[in-house]
């Protein structure tokens, strides 16, 4: 059984109320989600809290997962990013200020695990082929949680241009990663 | 919304780059009368691509307290709900459950550690009064200094946050000037600018110099106006309120930082301009 298929089986059990399966789902996916949240939120306490919210959400909303809309991993990442973006937007511009003045409490950041080198190399190669402005737009949206309107204000580029960059950038990335 | 309109926006949706109201329109489209095989396939593809962007990260194991908090919240009766709505674009009730489980902030450990240090030093005091008195005194002084610096830091941050929350405040990033190869700027900075007459410079990695000062300038109508010196702290950080009197003559076109002889210049920068940043049009 492939990993995505195993994930679906585990999530089916979660849907039936099996807490051990939720723990298994957590064991499988929490390290990557936690790394993602640390990178987005830059604060250990916030990352831990959003990680908790993500799995409580997954527990409560397992029934709405639809395989036709993506893998379980993509679903969990969507939940985690959605909550992280909520938090970033609630902070207003605080994160950007804090990032720029390096006032962030990352000193106690936990030790990372060995990376998936193959996936990293593939992604970096794909990102490297994107035009810089498309890559920048994707990065601002992905890591900083900026909306297209906010990217437009941040970069000074027209909103329509930003929308085109986000769409073309992600589509190009999908083609490169699939190829 | 048509299928084509959905397809045009699905990438931004998957990336979380739509405004909440825009996202809701897409969610309503999917929830509406279907089927939507093309839309769902496009969403799946976009979500997988977005998920792949996290592949560049080294996985990090969360501390055990995170799972313990989840297990505890579930034990309090948060059963799976099979007909919950689609992903929220506003904070969901789970946050309330987690708030009570919020991890202890790192600074709490620092204070606890300081308390332990003081207690330990107190213990030594019983055994060796003379040596420990000096150690305790030094430790207390160090603690007091750290606490004072931390308090100043918090006040400055609060000040900056307050300004950021005021309507109209914009963040002006100051970039090295001139761009490109050449000697790099000794620090980086940002100005929180509110057109109603307040501005705050926040910088990092500035090195104090014995014979030179960093000076902030406002550029308005093509002319520089001295806006105050930027003294770095011992850690190289700068928090400096811009002189309010220089903010009253109209919207600045840009901010700049120069390096000047001690005391700064009054009329125009004579030293090198190291950082500049344009103020966005209203």
Same domain? B124 vs B50: no
Average pLDDT over chain A, rounded to whole?
Answer: 83
Vertex A8 angle, CA A169 and A38, to 5°? 50
Whole-number Å distance between alpha carbons of B42 and B11:
8
Contact B79 A102 (CB under 8 A): no
* Closest alpha carbon within chain A to B107: A105
| pLDDT value, residue B209 | 82
Residue B210 within a domain: yes
CB-based contact, A2 to chain B, within 8 Å = no
* Closest alpha carbon within chain A to B57: A35
Quick check: pTM over 0.80? no
- DSSP designation for A130: S
Residue B40 within a domain: yes
Instruction: State mean pLDDT over A153-176.
Output: 91
Instruction: State mean pLDDT over B222-241.
Output: 86
Segment 122-141 of chain A within 8 Å of chain B by CB: 122-124, 138, 141
Residue B153 has pLDDT above 70, yes or no: no
- pLDDT-based confidence at residue B154 (cuts at 50, 70, 90): low
> Could you tell me the CATH number of the domain that includes residue B45?
1.10.10
Q: In angstroms, how far is the first alpha carbon of chain A from the final one?
A: 23
| pLDDT value, residue A159 | 94
Instruction: State mean pLDDT over B190-194.
Output: 86
Same domain? B144 vs B239: no
Whole-number Å distance between alpha carbons of A169 and A130:
7
Least confident of A79-93, A155-169, B29-43, B127-141: B127-141
| pLDDT value, residue A31 | 94
Residue B220 within a domain: yes
Instruction: Please answer whether residues B98 and A56 qualify as being in contact, where contact means their C-beta atoms are separated by less than 8 angstroms.
Output: yes
Higher local confidence (pLDDT), A64 or B89: A64
Residues of chain A with CATH 1.10.10.10: 114-179
Whole-number Å distance between alpha carbons of B63 and B60:
9
Higher local confidence (pLDDT), B110 or A162: A162
| pLDDT value, residue A51 | 95
CA distance B125 to chain A (A): 31
Higher local confidence (pLDDT), A58 or A110: A58
Same domain? B94 vs B25: yes
Contact B106 A51 (CB under 8 A): no
| pLDDT value, residue B248 | 81
CA distance B242 to chain A (A): 17
- The parent domain of residue B146 ranges over 106-161
Contact A56 B70 (CB under 8 A): yes
- pLDDT-based confidence at residue B197 (cuts at 50, 70, 90): confident
Contact B98 A56 (CB under 8 A): yes
Per-residue pLDDT reduced to its tens digit, B118-138: 333 333 343 444 555 555 555
Residue B177 within a domain: yes
- pLDDT-based confidence at residue A52 (cuts at 50, 70, 90): very high
Residue B235 has pLDDT above 60, yes or no: yes
Whole-number Å distance between alpha carbons of A38 and B110:
21
Per-residue pLDDT reduced to its tens digit, B65-117: 999 999 988 887 654 444 333 443 333 444 444 443 433 344 433 443 343 33
Residues of chain A with CATH 1.10.1740.10: 1-109
| pLDDT value, residue A111 | 52
Second-level CATH architecture of A1-109: Orthogonal Bundle (1.10)
Alpha-carbon distance values, A25 to A7, A19, A167 (Å): 7, 10, 31
Chain A residues with CB inside 8 Å of B189's CB? 100
Chain A residues with CB inside 8 Å of B16's CB? 81-82, 85, 141-142, 145
Residue B15 has pLDDT above 70, yes or no: yes
- Report long-range pairs for A156-163 (Cβ below 8 Å, ≥24 apart): A156/B280, A157/A133, A162/A137, A163/B12
| pLDDT value, residue B232 | 86
CA distance A119 to chain B (A): 6
Taking alpha carbons only, the member of A79, A75, A74 closest to residue A51 is A79
Percent of chain B scored above 70 by pLDDT?
A: 67
Bridge partners (DSSP) of residue B257 are B216, B275
Residue B39 within a domain: yes
Residue in A31, A44, A61, A126 to test binding to B, most B beta-carbons within 10 Å: A61
| pLDDT value, residue B204 | 83
- Given B16, B63, B203, which is nearest A85 (Cβ)? B16
Residue A118 has pLDDT above 50, yes or no: yes
CATH number 3.40.50.720 is the correct assignment for the domain at A114-179: no
| pLDDT value, residue A23 | 94
Same domain? B250 vs B205: yes
Contact A75 B47 (CB under 8 A): yes
Same domain? B251 vs B196: yes
- Given A77, A112, A149, which is nearest B58 (Cβ)? A112
CB-based contact, A160 to chain B, within 8 Å = no
| pLDDT value, residue B117 | 34
Per-residue pLDDT reduced to its tens digit, B43-77: 988 988 888 888 778 889 999 999 999 998 888 76
| pLDDT value, residue A11 | 93
CA distance A141 to chain B (A): 6
Contact A100 B190 (CB under 8 A): yes
* Closest alpha carbon within chain B to A124: B56
| pLDDT value, residue A178 | 76
Percent of chain A scored above 70 by pLDDT?
A: 83
Instruction: State mean pLDDT over A78-86.
Output: 92
CB-based contact, A30 to chain B, within 8 Å = yes
Structure tokens at B217: 């300038």
Whole-number Å distance between alpha carbons of B65 and B71:
10
Residue B188 within a domain: yes
Least confident of A137-146, B63-72, B90-99, B200-209: B90-99
Instruction: Please answer whether residues B273 and B258 qualify as being in contact, where contact means their C-beta atoms are separated by less than 8 angstroms.
Output: yes
Same domain? B247 vs B226: yes
| pLDDT value, residue B206 | 84
Segment 49-88 of chain A within 8 Å of chain B by CB: 49, 51-53, 55-57, 59-64, 66, 68-71, 73-75, 77-79, 81-83, 85-86
Same domain? B95 vs B110: no
Residue B80 within a domain: no
Contact A30 B17 (CB under 8 A): no
Q: How many domains does chain B divide into?
A: 3
- pLDDT-based confidence at residue A76 (cuts at 50, 70, 90): very high
- pLDDT-based confidence at residue B280 (cuts at 50, 70, 90): confident
Same domain? B24 vs B69: yes
The phi and psi torsions of B208 (rounded to 5 degrees) equal -65, 140
């Amino acid at each position: 059984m492939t990993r995505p298929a195993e994930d679906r089986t585990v999530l089916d059990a979660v849907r039936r109320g099996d807490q051990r399966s939720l723990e298994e789902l957590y064991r499988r996916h929490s390290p990557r989600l936690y790394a993602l949240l640390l990178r987005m939120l830059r604060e250990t306490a916030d990352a831990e809290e959003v990680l908790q919210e993500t799995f409580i959400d997954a527990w409560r909303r397992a029934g709405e997962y639809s395989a036709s809309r993506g893998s379980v991993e993509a679903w969990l990442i969507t939940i985690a990013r959605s909550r992280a973006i909520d938090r970033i937007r609630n902070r207003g511009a605080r994160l950007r200020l804090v990032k720029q003045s390096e006032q962030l409490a990352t000193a106690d950041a936990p030790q990372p695990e060995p990376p998936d080198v193959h996936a990293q190399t593939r992604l970096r190669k794909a990102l490297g082929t994107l035009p810089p402005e498309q890559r920048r737009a994707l990065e601002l949206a992905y890591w900083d949680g900026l909306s297209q309107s906010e990217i437009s204000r941040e970069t000074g580029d027209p909103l329509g241009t930003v929308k085109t960059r986000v769409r073309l950038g992600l589509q190009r990335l999908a083609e490169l990663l699939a190829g | 919304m048509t299928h084509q309109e959905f397809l045009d926006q699905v990438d931004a949706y998957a990336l979380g780059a739509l405004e909440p109201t825009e996202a809701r329109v897409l969610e309503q489209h999917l929830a509406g009368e279907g089927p939507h095989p093309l839309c769902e396939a496009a969403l799946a593809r976009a979500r997988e691509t977005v998920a792949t962007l996290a592949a560049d990260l080294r996985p990090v194991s969360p501390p055990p307290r995170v799972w313990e908090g989840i297990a505890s919240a579930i034990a309090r009766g948060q059963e799976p709900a099979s007909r919950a709505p689609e992903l929220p674009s506003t904070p969901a009730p789970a946050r309330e459950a987690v708030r009570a489980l919020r991890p202890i902030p790192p600074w709490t450990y620092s204070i606890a550690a300081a308390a332990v240090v003081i207690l330990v030093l107190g213990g030594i005091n019983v055994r060796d009064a003379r040596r420990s008195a000096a150690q305790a005194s030094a430790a207390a002084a160090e603690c007091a200094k750290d606490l004072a610096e931390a308090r100043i830091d918090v006040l400055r941050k609060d000040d900056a946050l307050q300004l950021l929350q005021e309507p109209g405040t914009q963040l002006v990033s100051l970039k090295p000037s001139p761009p490109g190869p050449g000697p790099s700027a000794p620090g980086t900075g940002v100005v929180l600018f509110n057109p109603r007459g307040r501005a705050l410079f926040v910088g990092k990695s500035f090195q104090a110099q014995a014979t030179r000062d960093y000076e902030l300038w406002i550029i308005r109508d093509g002319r520089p106006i001295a806006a105050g010196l930027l003294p770095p702290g011992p850690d190289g950080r700068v928090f400096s309120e811009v002189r309010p009197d220089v903010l009253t003559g109209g919207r600045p076109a840009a901010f700049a930082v120069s390096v000047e002889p001690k005391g700064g210049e009054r009329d125009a920068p004579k030293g090198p301009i190291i950082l500049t940043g344009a103020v966005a049009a209203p």
